[in-house]
A and B are shown apart, each in its own frame.
Chain A
Amino acid sequence: MKDRNAISRFSWSSISRRYSIYLVLFVLVAISSFVNPNFLSGENLSNVARQITVTTILAFGETLLIICGLIDLSSGSVLALSGLLSVASYKASGSMAVAFAVAIGVALICNLINALMVAKFAVPAFIATLAMQEMARGSALLFTKGQNIYQIGDYTMVGQGSVGFIPIPLFFLLAFVLMTSYMLNQTRFGRALYAIGGNQEAARASGIGIDRNKVLAFAVNGLLVGVAGVLFMSRVNAGLPNGGIGYEMNGLTASIIGGTSFSGGAGTAGGTIVGALIVGFLNNILNLANVNSYMQQIVRGAIIALAVIYDIWTKNRRTKSLVKDAAS
């Protein structure tokens, strides 16, 4: 009897934990559409979609990394560097394929350097990627001597174009959510990430290659950041060496609100996209409601704090109920 109680208590908290985030999204959408009837208009929604794409793609990378106990603080800067070089190479070659290849290549190199520092020299990911943040930003500024690159021609198509009424960035978003979800749920790599973040020593003792998987996680992050770089520059219609400042934090926010556990071992692609939608819709409705932008920042901060407090609270409650069962 006691056992059954423990089980039902447990699954209740896990269900509330799993679905509460969707509930929050639903309530937010409901309130928003009530506050401003324009909220649910196709135009507004496709606007939001364009706004959140870049952040969400970065968030997928953060989710993968945080699950296995890492983090990337460099993605905003690397996005700028790879996007900028991609714009420059497009202007030189006129080929979008080259532009993508350059962006992905640059982001990949930056992330492999991150991985090298983490896996080979045991630098904590926080420090390694903080260093990369500086190096990548500096490189971007050095490359154009601080100048922006304008007249980027058809480079803007990927960020601003649509197929029918669907914005092109949305296809990228869709492709990446599927990719992330596939990696996490269907591959050895995904299982390894969860195990490494959940208990690295146990993962090692089970034959999981720790370094190999960490390098791979950074590599996938590189792919994501590179594509995000193209989409960003394309959307802002220029190559901005100072673009994307603080974007890594937006990505982290979406990931954490989406239920990725900062202590590693837990997180999903679906949760991450919901987290990104919550942040995106929230920004949007605060804009539509003409809330002053300083105020918006305060609200965003408060929401991050609440999301994490909630996360810790549910985890504690779960542990406590477990301990109680073990003792009785």
Chain B
Amino acid sequence: MDSYKLEVRNVSKSFPGVLALDDITIKARPGSVLVLCGENGAGKSTLMKIIDGIYQPDKGKVLIDGKPVTIRNPIQARSLGISMINQELNFIPEITIEENLFCGRLPKRGAMIDWKRIRAETSALIERENLHYAPDTRMKDLSISDIQMLEILKAISLDASIIIMDEPTSAITDREVERLFEKIAELKARGACIIYISHKMNEIFKIADDIAVMRDGRVVDSRPKEDFDIDNVISLMVGRKLENNFPERHQSPGEVALEVEGLSCPGVFRDVSFRVRGGEIVGFAGLMGAGRTEVMRAVFGLDPHGSGSIKVRGKEVRIASVNDGMRARIAMLSEDRHRYGIVPMRSVCENIGLSSLRRFIYRGRLHRAEESKTIAGLCEELSVKTPSLSTPVEALSGGNQQKVVLGKWILSDPDILIMDEPTRGIDVGAKYEIYKLMDALANKGKALVFVSSELPELIGMCDRIYVMCQGEITGELKRGEFTQEGIMRFATGQENKERVQ
């Protein structure tokens, strides 16, 4: 029988409204790499946060070297030899490299911090790893990939025996990936146990000893790498049930409303071209970080783009700001409702009217009666559940907040509506209402762009789907050709359009 370094046994964890982890069991041997893969929202990060002590499991336990442990916080996790490299880098911009490396464990001499020792150890590490920074460089002056690399070195320098890497290659260059893999080999030789989260298939098969596939909060399969191939990993990842709860689409696409040609933004997305007709719902699939949101933000004018052209109804438009986007009658529902959607302490009425100020404020005053009549009508149409129009938006549920943001854009009457993850974080009922609304808008001849990470809803709603991977469009599928596996193959970069043609 194998002895396991780290074992997670029957762990469950729920958050209000969702069961994030459902009876999870994973086992990792010393001196090996366990790759954890799964779609966005499969529960990988939640599981890692439990191992790191950020969350406590509702049920089940974590064992290290066969002994049950309770991990209350990340500091305790460190002392148990667990080291975590986060996908979203958390660093303090103003501190220096050496302070960052020793953050939370500054060596002391008496009551004073032993800066000499810190400098010596940092310099030694930098020399050993062949890096080219001064130990007192501030974190904010480093590039993202430098920081990622440093985080990895920091984890290694901690002499950790369990190292969790959450998509460590998402921000580093190919050469650094090679370096990372060398480091991982070193760590393995030292007997450390590595849990590696990724959905880049070629990487997974290169580095893994064992693979565990997660889906909807469960481990659906966990075996040595040799027992898997790319295709069955992909089909395990996407094996979600397709539920038949989408309004029936009768498509009758009209003229091309939006045409994007060769849009690029260095380092973010490359040569993105797509077109959307009036009355059409066009999906954008892809994994997190594929660049979908960034493309949409550029099209709407929230972020600048480098080269490429945007044509609206056949005419080329220059979009450098949101106002340009709105003048071209484009609207965008952002994926981050709290940041880019609502003004939390202001009323439902003010939030909905925010993009259509001229509609009710003209000839020198606010036409309040007209405003509340129109907005009340819209709220009814969208079935926004709110005590009154003067209720602050922060008092509403997530689904209703989302409908308020949607109402804001519908009121502004765009021809082209971009919806980025419109159903994220809202309940099933509200989701269905949003689907119905999208269908109704498309039937009115609006061009809809639907960005989503949930394949079933893309497949259920869209007339066409573009798939993006690492900043590029890798595939385009028509209704009838949609399969979750097919989309995922494009999304993980296993196939791209050239090969299909």
Contacts and interface: CB of A to CB of B under 8 A. Distances in A.
Interface stretch (B268-276, B355-363, B431-439): B355-363
Interface in A126-149: none
A207 B341 contact: no
A64 B251 CA distance: 50
A322 interface: yes
Given A205-B322, A206-B408, A322-B395, A191 B353 contact: yes
B365 interface: yes
Indicate the member of A195, A203, A207, A322 with the most B CB atoms within 10 Å: A207
Contacts of B357: 188, 191-192
B110 interface: no
Given A202-B341, A207-B326, A195 B16 contact: no
A237 to B, nearest CB: 39
A188 B367 CA distance: 12
Contacts of A10: 387, 391, 395
Given A205-B302, A206-B408, A195 B339 contact: no
B343 interface: yes
A208 interface: yes
Q: Report the interface size class on chain B.
A: 20 to 34
A311 to B, nearest CB: 12
Given A207-B322, A326-B16, A198 B366 contact: no
A206 to B, nearest CB: 4
A201 interface: yes
Interface stretch (B25-33, B242-250, B252-260, B344-352): B344-352
Contacts of A203: 343, 354
B345 A265 contact: yes
Interface residues of A, number: 30
B345 A198 contact: yes
B161 interface: no
Interface in B359-416: 361, 364-366, 387, 391, 394-395, 397-398, 408, 412
Nearest to B324: A207
B334 interface: yes
A204 interface: yes
Nearest to A10: B395
A186 interface: yes
Interface in A173-224: 185-188, 191-192, 194-195, 198-199, 201-209
Interface of B: 16, 302, 322-323, 325-326, 332, 334, 339-346, 350, 353-355, 357-358, 361, 364-366, 387, 391, 394-395, 397-398, 408, 412
Q: List the 5 shortest-distance A-B pairs measured between CB atoms, nearest first.
A: A198-B343, A188-B357, A205-B340, A7-B387, A206-B354
Given A10-B395, A195-B343, 4 more contacts: A10-B391, A194-B343, A202-B339, A202-B341
